[in-house]
Chain A
Amino acid sequence: MSTPLIVSASPHATSGATTPKIMWSVVLALAPATAYAIWLFGYPALSVIAATVFCCVFFEALCGLAMRRSPTITDGSAALTGLILALSLPPGLPLWICAVGAFVAIVISKAIFGGLGQNPFNPAMAGRVFLLIAFPADLTRWLVPQQHAGDTLFGEPVTALDAQGRITEYGLTNVDAITAATPIGLLREKGANIVADLPGNIEFLLGHINGSAGETSAFLLLAGGIFLLIRRVIAWHIPVAYLGTVALFAAITHLVDPSAYAGPAFHLLSGGVMMGAWFIATDYVTSPMFPKGRILFGVGAGILTMVIRLWGGYPEGVSFAVLLMNACVPFFNAWTRPKPFGATTATSGGPQP
């Protein structure tokens, strides 16, 4: 027979799922929130997003060449890391700092461990945390969305904005390119009574609050997350466990002292919780593989997020919580591995062959 047929081991059919399809569908799910952030903040957001994504892809290609591996930039994982990192950074961040973040995310947290699938820590969060610690001032300057000329700040009307939408004057105070703290930062800074001064929750949903681009579009992020859930790209365990824990924690503390602690709605909709629940904590590579382990992961991340937010040294706890839970993933996997069919224990290999 001279027809060279293809021979391979069974099975001879696949589901059609591929790694690029998964990665790009997550990018798609983030697209609405990304577009909205660009609309809100304009060029500052666009430049941060473009620069971070470009640098991540560039570093991934560079590492692939240096380590003599076949190119992996088309699988979308570097672009996704870049996008997630960009959405957690403040718009207007100097682009060279974005590049440093991309370097830490791709080269140090991913490529050095062996590339896709081998990194123990979430690359985007590792990049963000590094920047936060190395450039604390730049990472805590938050821009006001450019649509809000008539807005007030700390009860005073905003009277001047610069070309990029930054408040240069509020009330009777002239300041140079002042940047206002985020609601969470406000909480921390102003102390207990600020709860009463907090903007109403609806404004969170519509993004009329200064903050990182990721914070401002909780609603769009939620929609993106549900899209991924329906498409079976992510499992429900981590988002539900995480959001549930955050809500529960906030509810309990709010009950205990309503004037000091904000309620569940505030905590769920502000900061990086929505982004974290649907896009960051659900990263396959750095989260547990088994359903029960995923629930443990979500609960642990939720508790840590709240503890850091309420009593920790930083206004935002999502990135640290995720990284700390990433470190625990091997334990979660070991504790919750499934028992083989008909076995009595999880590590039962069965009778001798």
Chain B
Amino acid sequence: MFTNETLLALAILGSIGLVMSVLLSIGKRIFAVETDDRFDRLMDILPGANCGGCGFPGCSGFAQGLIDGTAKPTACPPGGPEVTVLIGEIMGVKLTPGEPMVAVVGCAGDHSAAPPVANYQGLRDCRAAHAVAGGAKSCAYGCLGLGTCQTACVFDAITITDTGLAIIDRDKCTACGACIEICPRQIIRLHPKRDEVHVLCINPDKPKEVKAVCTVGCTACKLCTRQSERLVMDERLAVVSPEVKADIPASCALVCPQGTIFDLRQYALSDWILDPAARRDFEQRQEAWKAEEKARKAAAREKKSASKAKPKAAPDTNTDANAEPGTDATPSAGGEA
């Protein structure tokens, strides 16, 4: 089987191979490039999405920045707290990760709630559409739904509904900030991930003007601010205050007559926007809660009038003079305190 020629061929090729591999290993040593071994370890733990959220060109840029000392170790939003801690281990620093954030689109006004007032034709890009006649939507502040944010998101966290509204999946969102930067109306904001209640409107106009353009916009009725100290008024817009530490009860969302407040403990965002059944359920619960509130207030009034009625024997003219309409036994017209 192995003729002389075959053996010779094997020998020659084998020795060429041997010589080449020796040369290559020598070359590897001579031409080796010095790298900081931390670079490779950092590249292993970084998410590798190259989203630019850290402000550096890609994960390799961030890793180099960490080594050079120009990058803040907490600057990687997609990495989150785990990666921050790992970076700390590699760089030999103790780090406490920042609060996880998510991006939220501050608008629920899709085509049915805030219909278009003109037929926009042209580039399917929100920045371009916003520049044409100020945007063809009834609300000058609302989401145009053309998907520029969706294209900008490298984590596929944004979907545009068929009704023309952008919604962000909070589980996929890494708060890198790309959508926030590109939205021409600055509708998208960062919120702490643990926040469960959001006001989905940024329209600061007068109540009548807001109502004229959108069925789910904030009309500054302030009812929600009475349910929780965390809801405050920023001029004519209700906002969830970042500073105030207080609970937001479920009643905040239920009290809003426009349905502007979204509470993710009660509904999933996509259902809230898209599912009419969710809205109907919300309205029913709203009615039920209003009825309960009414009953509660009536009971409170009863109690108050009962406690006031007891010392009637004493000639307390003050009490009678200070009697509020509706607190005594005679029914008043409205019945509302």
Contacts and interface: CB of A to CB of B under 8 A. Distances in A.
Interface of A: 1, 4-9
Instruction: Say whether chain A's binding surface is mostly helix, strand, loop, or mixed.
Output: loop
A59 B41 CA distance: 49
Nearest to B136: A7
B119 A5 contact: yes
A9 B128 CA distance: 9
B121 to A, nearest CB: 5
B209 to A, nearest CB: 15
B120 to A, nearest CB: 6
Contacts of B116: 4
A125 B87 CA distance: 56
Q: Which of A1, A6, A7 has the most CB of B within 10 A?
A: A7
B132 A8 contact: yes
Contacts of B121: 6-8
A7 B117 CA distance: 10
Nearest to A4: B119
Contacts of B123: 9
Contacts of A6: 118-121
Interface size class of B (residues with CB under 8 A): 10 to 19
27 contacts: A1-B117, A4-B116, A4-B117, A4-B118, A4-B119, A5-B118, A5-B119, A6-B118, A6-B119, A6-B120, A6-B121, A7-B118, A7-B119, A7-B120, A7-B121, A7-B132, A7-B133, A7-B136, A8-B120, A8-B121, A8-B122, A8-B132, A9-B122, A9-B123, A9-B128, A9-B131, A9-B132
Give 3 closest A-B pairs by Cβ, nearest first. A7-B133, A8-B121, A7-B118
Instruction: Say whether chain B's binding surface is mostly helix, strand, loop, or mixed.
Output: loop
Contacts, number: 27
Given A4-B117, A7-B136, A9-B123, 4 more contacts: A1-B117, A8-B132, A9-B128, A9-B131
Interface string B158-198: 00000000000000000000000000000000000000000
B167 to A, nearest CB: 23
Q: Which of B117, B123, B128 has the most CB of A within 10 A?
A: B117
Contacts of B122: 8-9
Contacts of A5: 118-119
A212 B49 CA distance: 55
A5 B132 CA distance: 13
A5 B116 CA distance: 10
A70 B108 CA distance: 31
Contacts of B117: 1, 4
Contacts of B136: 7
Contacts of A4: 116-119
A7 B132 CA distance: 7
A1 B116 CA distance: 12
Interface in B78-130: 116-123, 128
A8 B119 CA distance: 8
Contacts of A7: 118-121, 132-133, 136
A137 to B, nearest CB: 37
Contacts of B118: 4-7
Contacts of A9: 122-123, 128, 131-132
A83 to B, nearest CB: 34
